[in-house]
Amino acid sequence: MHFLSYQKRGLLLLLTLLIAGMFVICGRLAYFMIFVTDRYAGRAQELHERERSIKAERGLIYDRNGVVIADNKPVCTISVIHNQITDPEEVIAKLSEILELEPETVRKRVEKYSSIERIKANVPKETADIIRDLNLDGVMVDEDYKRFYPYGSLASKVLGFTGSDNQGIIGLEVEYDSYLQGIPGKILTLTTAHGLEIENAAENREEPVGGNHLHTSLDVVIQQYAQQAAEKVYEAKSANRVSVIVMNPQNGELYAMVNVPEFDLNEPYTLTAAVLGENDEETLTGEKKNELLNAMWRNPCINDTYEPGSAFKIVTATAALEEGVVRLTDQFYCPGYKLVEDRTIRCHKVGGHGSEDFKQGIMNSCNPVFMEIGARIGAERFLYYYDKLGLTSRTGVDLPGEANSILHKLENIKAVELATMSFGQSFQITPLQLMRAASAAVNGGKLITPHFGVSIENAEGVTIKTLRYEESEGAVSEQTSQTMRELLEAVVAEGTGKRAYVAGLHIGGKTATSEKLPRRTGRYIASFLGFAPASDPQVMVLVMIDEPEGIYYGGTIAAPVAGEIFENILPYLGIAADYSEQELKDYALNTVAVPDFTGKSIKEAKTGFAAYSEGELYLIGDGDKVKEQFPLPGEYVNENSDLILYLE
């Protein structure tokens, strides 16, 4: 009896457990079916979906006039899905032939067990359409975008370029990458458990969001003028490199930055002849090619420092006037050298300049004069003005990889170091640091930040951010700045910079010839820093000719390049010439009225231009007829002046 009673209790317990288990299972089923059904349905959907990304269109880059300088071109990406390929040999044969790839390269990707394998990106749309029309099972053709640069090599080391993933590599493309990149979209396709697409099943598509646009201060026309002037002297002097920077000294906007030789932005991995030298590209190792590519992409205006030479006398003179240690009428004597401790430091004029006042000293670019006023300033105060004029820190320009100055520490500046520093030797700065300091010296004492970026605009054309840059007043007094403007105008009108003189334009500036390290190797940088109009500087130009052959003096070979650039860009910027009576007489003998070419064909315009000028004719646009012109019809210009035609 006890046994039967025990058995009944066991059965009852088992039954109770079974019923409780059923309640738990039913509860869990209810929970999954009612409360979390959406989440698990989504996870099931994910298991049966294959995702293919759609690249977003990258934001455009514009110059200061709204001209597109970095655009997009529609291309396609060709991919394969292993599980969906029904005829591998046909796929391999067709893709290798059409895409001009090695069959073995295609085979490795076709036979690879993966959800999706990319065969080739940036395929022209025409080629992709051929593949699409073949209807090869397992071959996917997806739309894509490739960066396209309408002006080829123009401002190549400023704009930079993008990689195959549309991310910025160098220049503005990488500096503003977070703005320019869009948000990728995707295509979601339903598949079976074996990875095969389900026929007639609708695709889910998430549209990409295009990137924001960047508006810059770079001016295509000014960049072209500067680049053509740089290319001429680069060829004429067989130089290692020619750099030109054009900037607004009032607010730091950069209108142009040239580094000849440039490279083709649409073929950024093709080495230029200048970089290749005697190397054979086909035999280059990967490491060596990367080294040469980095050299080709390098922007020396930003990434390199140099000894500025006599152009730095602008800073020395400014510091001396601020300190009150020199007056324009102070007298000096230059025998052609100056003894500093145990050193004989020479002037560029071997026989010396003799007796001269301070104004003549800066006009003559006399080293002994500047060594004397450097000694009057003293090392401590000299470094104070270095800092005040922005030479101890980076400029903050919106380009990657900016270098910083290399300066003596105060305790290491003895009499010889102070003497050489006064005329721009024994330390190094970047070209932009020099321009920033010179701008403060002539713009009334405002320390500006050189920059290209102006504003960010969304895909709908609405400005979402105006870019701001640091400015600080009081680097020097207005009186010192006015004196410096007058002194530097005299340098161009009567002194070492007279080859930059252009009638009516009132240019101020300073020449420089700096010997590269190590000394006595015969390698020089000839340069000229100028601004105009001298009374109210609106444009500053720095020309640097690296390792010219033959004559290497800045006043002889760099100043004329700057003069040519000023002559072209000042009228373009609406800065009118202001002639003296004598200049008007001289000018009238060599001027002509510009004909009206608007509405004429390119052929007619070329013929008419050749009839009155031997200058350069620039065509902007792709039309067949002239829409606008510069200079304007009827305007009087030098008989060999250039002409810009804007086409319809």
Taking the C-alpha atoms of residue 194 and residue 584, their distance in angstroms, rounded to an integer, is 87
Is 386 within 8 Å of 440 (Cβ atoms)?
Answer: no
CA distances from 618 to 124, 228, 425, 613, 647 (A): 31, 11, 40, 13, 10
The residues, ordered by sequence, that sit 6+ positions from 570 with a Cβ below 8 Å of its Cβ are: 505, 532, 533, 539, 577
Is 99 within 8 Å of 123 (Cβ atoms)?
Answer: yes
C-alpha torsion angle, residues 621, 626, 627, 633 (rounded to 10)? 130
CA distances from 432 to 85, 357, 399, 546, 589 (A): 58, 31, 12, 16, 40
Taking the C-alpha atoms of residue 172 and residue 248, their distance in angstroms, rounded to an integer, is 19
Range 313-336 burial, b when 16+ CB lie within 10 A, else e: bbbbbbbbbbbebbeeebebebeb
Taking the C-alpha atoms of residue 480 and residue 306, their distance in angstroms, rounded to an integer, is 27
Cβ atoms within 10 Å, residue 456: 20
Taking the C-alpha atoms of residue 218 and residue 246, their distance in angstroms, rounded to an integer, is 9
CA distances from 508 to 207, 228, 320, 488, 633 (A): 55, 22, 19, 5, 30
Kindly state the DSSP code that residue 457 receives in the 8-state scheme. Answer: E
Residue identified by tokens 């458990």 is: 193
Taking the C-alpha atoms of residue 392 and residue 437, their distance in angstroms, rounded to an integer, is 11
Catalytic residue among 153, 156, 310, 514: 310
Is 407 within 8 Å of 391 (Cβ atoms)?
Answer: yes
Taking the C-alpha atoms of residue 147 and residue 170, their distance in angstroms, rounded to an integer, is 13
Query: Which runs of E-coded beta strand occur in 38-116?
Result: 49-54, 61-62, 68-80
User: Catalytic: 310?
Assistant: yes
Structure tokens at 72: 């997009």
Amino acid residing at 480:
T
Active site residues: 310
